[in-house]
Structure formats: C-alpha cells, structure tokens
Structure 1
C-alpha cells in the first residue's frame, strides 16, 4: 500500500465514522438537519430486527424524509445517548460496507440526569450499513439495526 493509498483509506474511514456520529448525534440532539446529513435521499433504515427482539413490529423506513420524521419524533424527545464503537469499513470505489456497534441509553424526557430514576431502555445494537460517497462526505444508503442485548423497559421506546 502506498502512502497516498493509505492516506486515502484513513480519510475515508474517518469520514465514514463521522457519518455514523452525525446519525447518532442527530438522534440524541433531536436535530433533523444533522440526522438528514448522514443519509442519502433514498435511504432505508431497518430497525425491524432490533425492535422484534424486544417485542415490537417496526417496518423499514424509507426515504430520508420518512426516516428523519419518524426517528426525530420517536427518539428526539427522549433523554438519549448513542455511542458508536468498533467501526469496521470496507471501501470499494464510492461504496462502503460498514459494521459498528451502537449502545443507546434512553430515558423519558427531562429525567435522564436524575439519579433516582431507574426506568430506562439500554440497547446494544449491531449496525450494518451500506454507504455511498457524496463529494468529500459519506452518506448512509441502507442501515440495518440488529439487537445484541437489551436491559430495562422496552415501553420506554414508545411515545
């Protein structure tokens, strides 16, 4: 691998990780524009595998406008914190296959920092994504979310 190729690979990986961080921060901050910046116009986000594991049927969301509207309405008001880790990516031209973990803690609005509140929903999810290059940035075209484990009250995730 040449120095130029190595630098390009590192730059792509950093941008791919940034895409996942924009996605997660958009959810945690209830920021529709930030969340939208991580997605292609025709993006599909499939939370079905994660939600079925805790007893809910949840259809895939598509396109970006629907994804953003549904997720901001559901997660945006919560006191939530999504942490992305273990990001692995394989780039083939302008397409990347990405695997990562996302640990997400959820509390009802306004009570997340109250140490007496114990009702929560903590999820460890596995993300599998297809991303596409959009200029210097990467965007999520397909995101499949599967649950590895869950702790707490699944009704926290309902309005």
Structure 2
C-alpha cells in the first residue's frame, strides 16, 4: 500500500465523517463537501426513485427541524481504491431523539444501516457519486425524560462546537 493510498483512504473516511457531522450537528456547509453535484442516493425499500444529493440534504434539514439530537457512527469501512475512483461499504449506527407533542416525551429511534458508496476524486477532493442505503434494523419507541435533562440535551445540541474554544486550538 502506497502513501497515496493511505492519504486517499484517510480523505474518504474524513468525508464520511463530514456527512455524519453535517447531519448530527446541523453543519450543512459540511454536507456540501460530501457528494458530487449529480450524486444519486438509493434508499432501498423506502423510495422507488434515487434522490439527488440536494434533495436528500433538504429532507435531512426538514427532519432536523423537530429533532432534539442525534448521532451517527460510521465504522467498519472497507475501501477499494482504483484512483481516481473508489468504492466503500460502511456500517452505520444511529440514535435520534425526536420531539413529540408532549414536552417531556421524546421519540427514540435506534438503528443500523449500510452505506455502499461509489467515489470520485477531483480537485475538490473525494466525493460520493452514488450511495445505496440499506436499513439493517430499526427500533422506535417513546420515552419520558425529566424536563431538566431535556434542557441539558438542548443546550448541547444547540452549541456550534466547531466554532467554540473547546474545538479550536488556542495559543
């Protein structure tokens, strides 16, 4: 494996993480660095037609309007490089807390998926040209939380961690 292969793999994994952070932190400028302009996303079993990346982004933004918090963990990624293209398969675990009409009740969604991605490297870096998403399992339920705990979650979810001194290096 060459140094360039290692750099390409690191760049692909970084792009996968930018996707998760975009959705989990409402950092939509990161989302814009993940897909090519004409990328197609197939949601197996959910949508008959592939979505274009901007349509998926808008769906996620709309979904996040009532989401209190969420976390996507992307792991066990296998990457097959054939530069300037690549393919990858990643395991995804996700937990989402969605608001309900009751102020102390939240809908919890826990699941796992696979992302099967086709990649292209350009001057802008590695970008996904096609993604297939398959759901492996999904567990949804409503839970009751103390109002103080919900306030704590809200505070953490509303913080722009990328611009805080917690994230930035200070001299």
Judge conservation of contact 1:82–1:103 (CA < 8 Å) in 2.
Answer: yes
TM-score by length of 2: 0.72
Alignment gaps of 5+ in structure 2? 143-171
The structure with more radius of gyration = 2
Number of equivalent positions = 138
Q: CA RMSD in A?
A: 2.4
Higher percent of residues as strand:
2
**3-state SS, counterpart of residue 37 of structure 1:** coil
Is residue 79 of structure 2 the alignment partner of residue 89 of structure 1?
Answer: yes
Determine which structure has greater relative contact order: mean sequence separation of CA pairs < 8 Å that are 6+ residues apart, divided by chain length.
Answer: 1
The yes-or-no answer on 1:73 pairing with 2:69 is: no
Residues 40 and 7 (structure 1 numbering): CA distance in 2 closer, same or farther, change over 3 Å? Answer: same
- CA offset at residue 91 of structure 1? 1.0
**Within 2, Cα distance between the matches of 1:137 and 1:24?**
17
What is the deviation of 1:135? Answer: 2.2
- Is this contact kept in 2: 1:106–1:121, CA < 8 A? yes
Change (3 A) 1:67 1:118: closer
Q: Deviations over 1:18-63 (max 9, x none)?
A: 111011111111222211111100011222x2xx3xxx5564211x
